[in-house]
Structure 1
């Protein structure tokens, strides 16, 4: 079978591998769509933590069941998405239901070879029915679930004023699910095109193009209160540190981004505001189900999100181009 591998930073190739066999308790899935994530671009550019090369990429996955264990609710031909976080089930985090941050977590396409291939065998508990969705839609569930998880962590509700900083796919996902909760949502970014997408396709309440006077503009727009919830999805250490100043008194700051850097903040300001600081990693089955429910109800502009398509054979040439800001990619999908 074909597999898309990042051999080293800056070099992708399509290789041949044997089709895997499903072991006990595993489901064999024929992969049909692969969403290309910021993580994959970081892997290509050589700045992704927790990774060793070479690595078959791919963790935003949709496909069809080929073989499922006896007695499984999954049947051959079912459209499914894959929860790509392989958790142990025994560590303290798993025992508390926090499988997304399992002490021994293995993420497909990062810690071990992923699903950018024709077939993959994974534990049944990691396979999620996507009935009622198209393959394109099913491939977008995972990145949307990351945004949904961060919003759930934040506690945002209909009375919350939320700022999402960074209008890439994960920031867009956070904005969508903050709106689902009824929050008043503002999005901050330096890219006017991304901001227009958030305004026109998601229906966020305000957009702010980041400039040197951003503090003054936010101060005026919020009557000096700033935001109940700030969610960072920039992937920029500088922006992540700046985001502390956007949090209002008694507010919450959620870091969806992960970077190879130390993040610092001014302690007197942090304490003065009694800021709640939260990390947000991956997602849980609850978040996947939330996304599936909202998507089935038409609450996600899936056609607009899927901005670019290509084949697995062309992916080594397409991914470097898709990673460039001027490409205008929202979500690129590789077809298998």
Structure 2
């Protein structure tokens, strides 16, 4: 069967690979939709230190069970659709023992540290496949990226009394927006792309602030009666936004870092203490976050139309990453629709 491979920096191509073997405790999936993530784009750019080339990308995966291995529970039957949890857990490290498997010390994410889902079929442990018969096929691949933002909001202990400032309106930032709204919070977004303004308004964001044309600190101060945001979710991953999150949080506030800075970040640390900030990291997502996203998407079926910017057929999958690279400002989610004709 064919797979899409990032073969070298700035190059994708189709390659023939062996079909996956099916081991005990696994389900074999016919992959239906795969979303492209910022980590895939960074791998394509040569800017992902966690991914070696060549690499099959893709960890945002919706599929249908084609076969099951031994010792798989009876409810996992052929033809059932669902969502892949693309992380591994060792069960032994301190994070796993604490019930925080999303931060497993030895995690290997599909499409990053190991080969991803951009192929006709994929075998995964049944525990890593959430059965779902309610969401449209394309929206199954929306769950994982949104769940990362949901996890960040859970880390920030957001509630209905909070004003939440989300830095960056990529899919992780959008997940944080939806999660904060689901908890009843007031949501502000800082985003440099004016092309995203209308969609953010349709999502119910109170204010989108463009730091390139407005003074972000001044606007946030005005919108929060001079206090600053109760919770700042950093979903950009730049040194300036890492530092800015500290400045924009209120006294006694919380800062959640879900972005991944690619270079060292220097701080003046006085505000850590003066504001007595809770500064939190956030990584991946727990199954509970996936379930919360499923509930959100089920209740708001229009979200798929708002967030899926373009779907490429499998025959054009090699064009998807170059397209996203050229259209980042107006793009939320690019997906690949897989086709049965791959199984040749």
Task: Tell me whether the two structures share a fold, i.e. TM-score over 0.5.
Answer: yes
Match in the other structure for 1:74: 76
RMSD: 1.4
Q: Determine the C-alpha separation between the residues in 1 that align with 2:7 and 2:208.
A: 39
Segments of structure 2 that go 5 or more residues without pairing to the other structure are 339-344
Match in the other structure for 2:232: 230
Task: Report 1:230-249 matches (<5 A).
Answer: 230-249=232-251
Which of residues 183, 186, 189 is equivalent to 2:188? 186
Q: Does 1:332 align with 2:315?
A: no
Task: Report 1:165-244 matches (<5 A).
Answer: 165-200=167-202, 202-211=203-212, 213-244=215-246
Task: Report 1:1-336 matches (<5 A).
Answer: 1-69=1-69, 70-200=72-202, 202-211=203-212, 213-298=215-300, 301-325=303-327, 328-336=330-338
Cα deviation digits, residues 215-242 of structure 1 (max 9, x gap): 2222222121011000011122222222
Kept in 1: contact 2:160–2:183 (CA 8 A): yes
Q: Determine the C-alpha separation between the residues in 2 that align with 1:298 and 1:180.
A: 11
Q: Determine the C-alpha separation between the residues in 2 that align with 1:90 and 1:29.
A: 28
Cα deviation digits, residues 10-44 of structure 1 (max 9, x gap): 11111111111210111101101000111111111
Q: 1:300 to 1:165 in 2, by over 3 A?
A: farther
Q: Determine the C-alpha separation between the residues in 2 that align with 1:232 and 1:247.
A: 11
Structure 1 stretches of 4+ with a deviation exceeding 4 A read none
Q: 1:171 to 1:316 in 2, by over 3 A?
A: same
Higher alpha-carbon deviation: 133-142 or 90-99: 90-99
Q: TM-score, normalised by structure 1?
A: 0.96
Q: Determine the C-alpha separation between the residues in 2 that align with 1:215 and 1:53.
A: 41
SS at match of 1:250: strand
Higher alpha-carbon deviation: 325-334 or 239-248: 325-334
Q: Determine the C-alpha separation between the residues in 1 that align with 2:279 and 2:49.
A: 21
Kept in 2: contact 1:164–1:233 (CA 8 A): yes
Aligned length: 335
